[in-house]
Amino acid sequence: MAIVDSIILGIFYINYSGLVPLLFFRKRFAVYIIAIISLLGLAWWIVSYLEVNYPVECYMGLFKRNTLFIVSSKTVNTHSYDNRLAIFLVVSLALVAIGTSIRATGRWLNNEKENNLIKKEKLNAELSYLKSQIDPHFFFNTLNNIYSLTQLKSDKAPQTILKLSELMRYNIYEADKKMVRLEDEINYVQNFIDLQRIRLAKSVDIDYYVRGVIGSKMIEPLIFLPFIENAFKHGIDYANNCSIDIEISIEDTEITLLVINNTGSRKEKISKQSGVGLSNIKKRLELLYKNRYDLNINENDESFMVKLILYSNGN
């Protein structure tokens, strides 16, 4: 490698390793430009000195010594000097630009990677928080019901304990997964509703249907429960006849949850108290199913209805 080639590569590495991170990335652009100009000027002064004293060694590489450029080892033609200066500057500036671009692109990619990682961690933290907002009072109420059943020596006590243990196992081991089998999620809903039937006895008419072929479909965990839990939490009126209808429909490209419960004289209370839970699940849906879901909520003097449609395959 000739001396001139080494000098040009030196300019590239000084810019790439030193000037870009120390000046360009710190937005000291004026100082950066002055440093580049000074570096090129110093490099050309060295090349001019070497070509007079060591002309052959200077131009064995990229800049080959040519009699058109150099009249003799001690005499430099002005026209050829200008040509060499122009070529030197063009090549040097090109390498400076390439080095800056490579370093800037690498930094941008690293920043994007870090930002994506931060967003992912933030998303996971937010989702974990939102999942933890599922009403814990349900478990305490169920334990109280189990206690009452054991006091009465009811045959329902063992079955209730089993269903509660299955719910707790799902919450502990499955809810942290990104996706779960739809069949498991539906079984979770079934256990939840069965426990509510035991708690409410015959005071509330509960209808639950699953339509369609479940197959091997996957779903985000605990995506249905807040709507169903909301119906039981705010849709029960012991002073009046009330009902809760829950239906899950499975089709090729969509899964639909329909929940309808009475409001009656509790309408004002329902509207007020259901806000937090619905706000919670709306955030989760926006994070997990952005542009892949439809949520319709209708409330009138008689009923409160939620219809959620989850789309698959980007539809």
Residues 107 and 209 in one domain: no
Query: Which residue segment(s) compose the domain that 93 sits in?
Result: 3-128
Residues 299 and 243 in one domain: yes
CA 51 to chain centre: 58
Token pair for 105: 């692109």
Final residue in a domain of this structure, among 97, 128, 159 = 128
HSE of 227, CA atoms in CB hemisphere, 13 A: 27
Residues 199 and 69 in one domain: no
Distance between CA atoms of 76 and 51, rounded to whole angstroms? 9
Residues 119 and 185 in one domain: no
Residues 190 and 226 in one domain: yes
3-state class percentages of the chain: helix first, strand second, coil last, to nearest 5: 60, 15, 25
CA 249 to chain centre: 29
Q: Average per-residue pLDDT in the chain?
A: 77
The candidate with the shortest Cα–Cα distance to 191, out of 213, 223, 159, 218, is: 159
The candidate with the shortest Cα–Cα distance to 199, out of 171, 246, 157, is: 157
Residues 37 and 148 in one domain: no
What CATH number is given to the structural domain containing 220?
3.30.565.10
Residue 60 has pLDDT above 60, yes or no: no
Q: DSSP 3-state assignment of 34?
A: helix
The candidate with the shortest Cα–Cα distance to 246, out of 299, 280, 205, 291, is: 205
| Model pLDDT, residue 205 | 86
Residues 43 and 149 in one domain: no
| Model pLDDT, residue 134 | 55
| Model pLDDT, residue 186 | 94
Q: What is the mean pLDDT of residues 192-199?
A: 84
Residues 17 and 148 in one domain: no
Q: What is the mean pLDDT of residues 178-207?
A: 86
Residue 36 has pLDDT above 60, yes or no: yes
The candidate with the shortest Cα–Cα distance to 88, out of 43, 121, 50, is: 43
CB atoms within 10 A of CB 140: 10
Residues 302 and 154 in one domain: yes
Look at the alpha carbons of 247, 251, 256, 262 in this order and tell me if their dihedral is positive or negative.
negative
Final residue in a domain of this structure, among 65, 97, 128 = 128
Q: What is the mean pLDDT of residues 287-307?
A: 87
Lowest mean pLDDT among 94-98, 133-137, 168-172, 209-213: 133-137
Final residue in a domain of this structure, among 128, 153, 171 = 128
Lowest mean pLDDT among 91-100, 133-142, 252-261, 267-276: 267-276
| Model pLDDT, residue 182 | 94
Number of domains present in the structure of the chain: 2
| Model pLDDT, residue 249 | 95
Residues 159 and 231 in one domain: yes
- Identify the residue with better confidence: 182 or 229: 182
Residues 124 and 138 in one domain: no
Distance between CA atoms of 161 and 153, rounded to whole angstroms? 13
The pLDDT > 70 percentage for the chain reads 74
Q: What is the mean pLDDT of residues 92-109?
A: 88
The candidate with the shortest Cα–Cα distance to 37, out of 79, 100, 84, 92, is: 92
Residues 194 and 280 in one domain: yes
Distance between CA atoms of 91 and 301, rounded to whole angstroms? 79
| Model pLDDT, residue 259 | 94
